[in-house]
Chain A
Amino acid sequence: MESGKRVWFRLRSDRRAVVCMVILALEVLCVLLLPPLLGLEPNVTDRTAGFWAAPSAEHWLGTDDVGRDILARLICGGRISLLVGFAAAAINLAVGVPLGLLAGYRRGAWEFWIMRLADVFQSFPNIVLTLCLVSLMGASVLNLVLVLGLLGWPGIARLVYGNVLSVREKEYILAVRALGGRTGTILYRNVLPNAVAPVWAALGQRVGRAILSESSLSFLGVGIRPPQASWGNLMQSASSLAVLTGRPWVWLPPGLLIVLTVVCLQILGNALRDAMDPRAARKER
């Protein structure tokens, strides 16, 4: 297994990745620390400011249709959006990687059933299936994470499966097998490190995709339960022509943050893939 220090060193040498890491770290710090530090109250109506107030010294991004501070909702909404993104991607990974490993390494019935199950999952239009499941289960952060997480594993599993198919025939794997290595140990110590590198690039995409899915569902009105804020349901107000054309400060900041986060995650994922690739390590030596 690659040492953490070496991966970190390689990652640090990629300037774009460092910039993206800083941006993402800032985002995470802001959404975690600013609400308690500034005493932000995203769900409280400011009756003095009124509904749909324009940006002012008191409300930098104005107020929404209920008189709530949009900046406070933007920051607190980031918690939900990032939580949904990272948690759903983690479930994708936790389900997809073991299934991909098993299908690729054990082959036979394992390969058949896991890959056919992946076919079934992938044959449904993702957003429609997500919409139906979230509607049935009820809109909540937990349900959203579960649905997005459990529907996203086939992509990861296929990626791992494809890599394992080539890795399992390598001489060093055959050698370990000939020496009597146990399947679990071979998978964990020999196959996984050599097959998992592309997953890191995909992971960035997965986080971004989950954030976008949450945004889409919130935009459609079946995302996060009110009055909780998320970047997606802040964008929902743009469905009104008056808001879209007359109040860009309402929907532009969450839109920009979604784009920025997804781009950063994509770049960071690619950098992480390169940094964790064992072949890169061999080249260095």
Chain B
Amino acid sequence: MAAALALAALLALLPACGPGDGKVAGVTVNYGISNPWDSLMPYNSISGSNYARMIYDKLYDRLAYVHADGRLSPRAAKSWEGSEDGHTALFHLDEQAAFHDGTPVTAEHWVETFTLMTDPACPVLGRGNFSVFTGTDQDGCRVAGETFGVEAVDEYTLKFTFRDPTTPEDFLLNKNREFYVLPTHLLEGEDPAGLMELEFWKAPVGSGPCRFLEEVPGSRLTLAANPDYQLGRPGFDKLVITVMDKSNLLTALIAGDMDYYAIGGNITTENASLAESSGLTVLKGTVPNTFFELMLNAERIPDARVRRAIELALDKELLCEQSTHGLGRPAGSSLSPEGPYAAAAEPAGARDVEGARSLLAEAGYDGRSYTLVCTSNRAGLAALMQQNLAEAGINITIETVDSAAMFAGMADGTYDLGIASHTPAALPLWFTEPRLSETNNLFHIADLTPYSQRIQAIRAETDVDKRMELVAELDSYLAQERPFIPLWFGTALHVQSPTVANIDYPSASFSNENVWEWVKE
């Protein structure tokens, strides 16, 4: 009774937080999002968040569509092929693709976009992504006198030349969400230095499945379906994207004020039964979409035996259960258990408190206390870890901060341990490569050479079997050194839209949504 009353009261309050006057004529899909986009220019996002990417995904086109299981489907590119040495890739563009002003999208548009974005004078955010191409420096700026690795072979064939061997599939899995084609024919003659300040970005023209209609910055964005999108016309007329507090998304869906919410209608196990009792269908994700790890500061915990002891002391089964409520599996590696390199992954291993104590004694652990940092919603998880570690004789104190402060604190060495989660990818180096580099030595490893040599060897190896061996070797080394502790992979629950069909919920975790296939009933 109390539950029903509380829910009724919440639902009664909802009309005030709904889309309100944002409702427009025609078939409208009301889309909720918990964080606002910071710009409508895809290369000018300060946050670089997945929420901003969800907006760009609608307005602009990407080369491919990435499925949750690692499969790739055509989008702006119909097909692609890589060279034998892995240094070049050809993308055959869809001739039907056109900007919202009717101009066909050609390879030249892609080249001009990439040329503009790698111009050192242009204040691009996230330019480092372009450093994969030859002719750029490590910041992604074009280097004068060198040939830029992005060329138009013909009107509809785009050629990329990579600095390191990369298959087009790996490139797309890793970078697809970072690259969009811009209507450079509308930007001709503009000063690159002032590009981001143009009025154009207040009502941009893209070539994505939706066209811009109007925006209330930070609050609401109204888009229209692009009837000429090369993959098909979305099954609605308008898409109204409204920013709402995260805690209101589910209640808005239950109340019928919302058709769908980002990202992927994700829902906690706790709220799943509530959603089901309200008549909504809850779907279980098909592949792991969350990877939890315990970050370690190797400068503060220099002995690998202590780091391994921490891993042995943790009850990963229990922690995984507390966090995922049965929707996860403990991990001993960052390699996705459903990915192509799963066979190379180290097993999770069982909890061994005695083994942890022995390692600590061997390492001469002096009983010092470490600081574990996490976001406040993971305080319970941290408390469980504290109990686990105390049983082995390791003392920790817990600090709860926001996510940005946590990563900043881990980077500057303020904290010793930290709980973080990530969206896993099928690539073998998706986790290790960005975190074990000179530019981002998040785990404060004194000598990165053993890691960078192994990573480089994997990148250079194009033979599948040999690459698998190298990946297994790196994973084994990681298990020995333990710069971070893999905890578990979790699978999401998605609450199904009661009004919109054909939504590919799991793939939303990979920053793309198949809106051209959505149909509002």
**Residue B14 at the A interface, CB < 8 A?**
no
**Residue A130 at the B interface, CB < 8 A?**
no
Set of chain B residues within 8 Å of A225, measured between Cβ atoms: 397-400
Give the CA-CA distance A51 to B381 in the complex, in Å. 12
**Residue B124 at the A interface, CB < 8 A?**
no
Supposing A240-B270, A245-B7 touch, asked if A139 and B384 sit within 8 A by C-beta, the answer is: no
Give the CA-CA distance A47 to B250 in the complex, in Å. 31
Across the two chains, which residue of chain B brings its CB closest to A52?
B270
**Residue A165 at the B interface, CB < 8 A?**
no
Set of chain A residues within 8 Å of B3, measured between Cβ atoms: 245-246, 248
A239 in contact with B247 (CB, 8 Å): yes
Among A47, A65, A139, the residue within 8 A (CB) of B380 is A65
A240 in contact with B322 (CB, 8 Å): no
Set of chain A residues within 8 Å of B382, measured between Cβ atoms: 226-227
Q: A123 CB to closest chain B CB, in angstroms?
A: 27
Among B224-279, those with CB < 8 Å from A are: 247, 250-251, 268, 270-271, 273-274
Contact pattern, A 118-149, Cβ under 8 Å of B = 1, otherwise 0: 00000000000000000000110000000000
**Residue B427 at the A interface, CB < 8 A?**
no
- The residue in B10, B270, B271 that gathers the most chain A C-beta atoms within 10 A of its C-beta is B270
**Apart from A51-B321, A226-B383, 5 more pairs, CB < 8 Å:** A45-B387, A65-B322, A226-B400, A245-B4, A246-B3
Supposing A66-B322, A221-B400 touch, asked if A245 and B383 sit within 8 A by C-beta, the answer is: no
Dominant secondary structure of chain B at its interface with chain A: helix
Set of chain A residues within 8 Å of B397, measured between Cβ atoms: 225
A226 in contact with B271 (CB, 8 Å): no
B321 in contact with A139 (CB, 8 Å): no
A227 in contact with B271 (CB, 8 Å): no
Set of chain A residues within 8 Å of B399, measured between Cβ atoms: 138-139, 225
**Residue B6 at the A interface, CB < 8 A?**
yes
Q: List 10 A-B contacts (CB under 8 A).
A: A66-B380, A66-B381, A68-B383, A222-B376, A226-B380, A226-B382, A227-B379, A227-B382, A246-B3, A246-B274
Contact pattern, B 1-30, Cβ under 8 Å of A = 1, otherwise 0: 011101100100000000000000000000
Set of chain B residues within 8 Å of A138, measured between Cβ atoms: 399
A139 in contact with B383 (CB, 8 Å): no
**Residue A64 at the B interface, CB < 8 A?**
yes
Interface residue range, chain B: 20 to 34
Among A47, A221, A243, the residue within 8 A (CB) of B376 is A221
Among B247, B318, B398, the residue within 8 A (CB) of A227 is B398
Give the CA-CA distance A64 to B270 in the complex, in Å. 13
- The residue in B7, B383, B384 that gathers the most chain A C-beta atoms within 10 A of its C-beta is B383
Among A219-244, those with CB < 8 Å from B are: 221-222, 225-227, 239-244
The 8 lowest CB-CB distance pairs between A and B, nearest first, are A221-B376, A227-B383, A242-B270, A245-B3, A226-B379, A66-B380, A65-B380, A226-B398
Supposing A65-B380, A66-B384, A225-B398 touch, asked if A47 and B318 sit within 8 A by C-beta, the answer is: yes
Set of chain A residues within 8 Å of B176, measured between Cβ atoms: none
Set of chain B residues within 8 Å of A226, measured between Cβ atoms: 379-380, 382-383, 398, 400
Dominant secondary structure of chain A at its interface with chain B: loop
**Residue A261 at the B interface, CB < 8 A?**
no
Give the CA-CA distance A198 to B214 in the complex, in Å. 58
**Residue A216 at the B interface, CB < 8 A?**
no
Give the CA-CA distance A64 to B379 in the complex, in Å. 12
**Residue B129 at the A interface, CB < 8 A?**
no
Set of chain B residues within 8 Å of A47, measured between Cβ atoms: 318
Give the CA-CA distance A186 to B383 in the complex, in Å. 54
Q: B12 CB to closest chain A CB, in angstroms?
A: 14
- The residue in B2, B268, B386 that gathers the most chain A C-beta atoms within 10 A of its C-beta is B2
**Residue A43 at the B interface, CB < 8 A?**
yes
Contact pattern, A 251-285, Cβ under 8 Å of B = 1, otherwise 0: 00000000000000000000000000000000000
Give the CA-CA distance A227 to B386 in the complex, in Å. 9
Contact pattern, B 390-409, Cβ under 8 Å of A = 1, otherwise 0: 00000001111000000000
Across the two chains, which residue of chain B brings its CB closest to A47?
B318
Give the CA-CA distance A226 to B4 in the complex, in Å. 31
Set of chain B residues within 8 Å of A222, measured between Cβ atoms: 376, 400
**Residue A44 at the B interface, CB < 8 A?**
yes
Set of chain A residues within 8 Å of B251, measured between Cβ atoms: 241
B271 in contact with A242 (CB, 8 Å): yes
Supposing A225-B399, A245-B7, A246-B3 touch, asked if A66 and B383 sit within 8 A by C-beta, the answer is: yes
B383 in contact with A242 (CB, 8 Å): no
Among B2, B318, B325, the residue within 8 A (CB) of A248 is B2
Across the two chains, which residue of chain B brings its CB closest to A247?
B3
Set of chain A residues within 8 Å of B6, measured between Cβ atoms: 244-245
Q: B101 CB to closest chain A CB, in angstroms?
A: 44
Among B270, B381, B386, B400, the residue within 8 A (CB) of A139 is B400
Q: A202 CB to closest chain B CB, in angstroms?
A: 32
Give the CA-CA distance A265 to B384 in the complex, in Å. 36
A43 in contact with B387 (CB, 8 Å): yes
Across the two chains, which residue of chain A brings its CB closest to B248?
A241
Among A36-60, those with CB < 8 Å from B are: 43-45, 47, 51-52
B270 in contact with A43 (CB, 8 Å): no
Give the CA-CA distance A45 to B391 in the complex, in Å. 12
Give the CA-CA distance A9 to B509 in the complex, in Å. 69
Among A160-176, those with CB < 8 Å from B are: none
Among B422-451, those with CB < 8 Å from A are: none
A241 in contact with B274 (CB, 8 Å): yes
Give the CA-CA distance A246 to B10 in the complex, in Å. 14
A242 in contact with B376 (CB, 8 Å): no
Give the CA-CA distance A141 to B271 in the complex, in Å. 32
Supposing A138-B399, A226-B382, A248-B3 touch, asked if A51 and B274 sit within 8 A by C-beta, the answer is: no
Supposing A66-B384, A225-B397, A226-B398 touch, asked if A241 and B322 sit within 8 A by C-beta, the answer is: no
Across the two chains, which residue of chain A brings its CB closest to B272?
A242
Give the CA-CA distance A47 to B321 in the complex, in Å. 11
Set of chain B residues within 8 Å of A240, measured between Cβ atoms: 268, 270-271
Among A55-85, those with CB < 8 Å from B are: 64-68
Contact pattern, A 202-227, Cβ under 8 Å of B = 1, otherwise 0: 00000000000000000001100111
Give the CA-CA distance A138 to B247 in the complex, in Å. 26
Set of chain A residues within 8 Å of B274, measured between Cβ atoms: 241-242, 245-246
Give the CA-CA distance A67 to B383 in the complex, in Å. 11
Q: B448 CB to closest chain A CB, in angstroms?
A: 32
Give the CA-CA distance A225 to B325 in the complex, in Å. 25
Set of chain B residues within 8 Å of A43, measured between Cβ atoms: 383, 387
Set of chain A residues within 8 Å of B250, measured between Cβ atoms: 241
